[in-house]
Amino acid sequence: MERVSQSELWMKDPVALRRNRGTDPVFFARSVFPDAAIEDLATAVIWISWLYFWDDALDFGDLDNKTGRMSQYREETLSCIQHSLLNDGLNEDKDPVHIAPTCLAAQAWHSIGVHIQHRVTAPSSRKYMHDCLRDYVAATIELQTHCDKAEILDIDSYLAIRMRTSGVYPTISLYLLTSRSEPPDWLFSHRLVQAALIEMNRIVSIYNDIVSAHLEIESGHIDNIIPLLMHHKSLSAQGAVDEAVQMIQDSYAAFRCLEAQITTLGREQDIAHEVSAFLKGCVNLCMGALQWTYHIKRYFNYSPSMGPAEISVVLGYSDQTAGSDGSAH
């Protein structure tokens, strides 16, 4: 895919480039957006590649205890996101180097956002994508600030900010591109949809915390549900994992209840197609992220010889499941 090679233009550090390739954004995009057309899939790949590139500067300590540099990183990234996604008719005359003179990652986003603006024509959809990215960037910098101050968040505070730093909301917003769905302006602010997004986010982000905990602890980061559960509840590592798994199960049950209510809402408001696309996007993200985790070597060196050759998960959207028993393989 031509746009994938573009990442080499803004990943100058060979370590960062190798690390980013290790995330296999192509596999991630194919797993999360299985029905996407090739051009939309290519856009999703470069979006996901950029998300990891931008976030890894924080995850791997490039900006630790560098308050001024981190502030620039935040402001220049937010400026490029806004200029590229929201400034209709103006962004092509804007030089990203002028918008973000010190931040190559922000400059890289600008061309991605301009491309998306040309592909996603509904202003409300672009606004939602913009807002998801804006909140993700702001929250990720906020969490890094807590880490630099060696602050240990309580469980509720951590989960509240984790919902914004997980990358789930920017990723799910991409379904507006890949599915060509144009939902009404009010859909994403509806209380049922908001609640479903939170539960879906908890499933993905807590699961990611489980598999990445050992790496983050090795890097000196405690912004992860596992060490926080161990600290606040005096649990063993296994006890913390067990409790985190229960949280995922609770969110799954809650999502199933909300799924039925949102489906009814779609019929009542004559937006059944748009609601179906949204729910399918949620389940695809949960299933795709799980498949991706076992495919790559970022978190652990998994191979089928470690356990059963077939892995089944049930995520509760019957039209999307692969088996007649409601399981996806």
CA of residue 253 relative to chain centroid, distance: 21
Structure tokens, 151:
């602050």
Report the 10 Å Cβ neighbour count for 219.
13
Are 105 and 54 within 8 A, CB to CB? Answer: yes
| More confident site: 51 or 316 | 51
Q: Percentage of the chain with pLDDT > 70?
A: 83
Residue 295 lies in a domain: yes
Give, as one character, the DSSP assignment of residue 323: S
Rounded average pLDDT over 249-258:
97
Domain that holds residue 127: 15-62+120-306
Residue 3 lies in a domain: no
What pLDDT does residue 320 have? Answer: 38
Look-up of token digits 């998960």? 313
Decide: pTM greater than 0.85: no
Residue 107 lies in a domain: no
Look-up of token digits 């192509």? 26
Residue 68 lies in a domain: no
134 has pLDDT over 90: yes
What pLDDT does residue 322 have? Answer: 37
Residue 96 lies in a domain: no
Rounded average pLDDT over 117-141:
91
232 has pLDDT over 80: yes
Structure tokens, 257:
């209840």
Q: Average pLDDT of the chain?
A: 83
The whole-angstrom separation of Cα 329 and Cα 326 is: 10
Helix pair 104-119, 123-148: axis angle to 10 deg: 160
The whole-angstrom separation of Cα 4 and Cα 102 is: 23
**Number of domains present in the structure of the chain:** 1
Question: 313 in helix, strand or coil?
Answer: strand
329 has pLDDT over 50: no
What pLDDT does residue 121 have? Answer: 86
What pLDDT does residue 303 have? Answer: 63
Are 5 and 26 within 8 A, CB to CB? Answer: no
| More confident site: 290 or 63 | 290
263: CATH: 1.10.600.10
| More confident site: 309 or 269 | 269
The whole-angstrom separation of Cα 311 and Cα 66 is: 43
What pLDDT does residue 37 have? Answer: 92
Q: What are phi and psi of 119, to 5 degrees?
A: -95, -30
Are 76 and 103 within 8 A, CB to CB? Answer: yes
Most confident of 33-37, 254-258, 293-297: 254-258
Look-up of token digits 């926080």? 228
- Cα 258 to Cα 137, 225, 247, 248, distances in angstroms: 28, 25, 16, 15
What pLDDT does residue 5 have? Answer: 54
What pLDDT does residue 302 have? Answer: 60
Residue 323 lies in a domain: no
Rounded average pLDDT over 283-302:
85
| Nearest Cα to Cα of residue 255 among 313, 195, 183 | 195
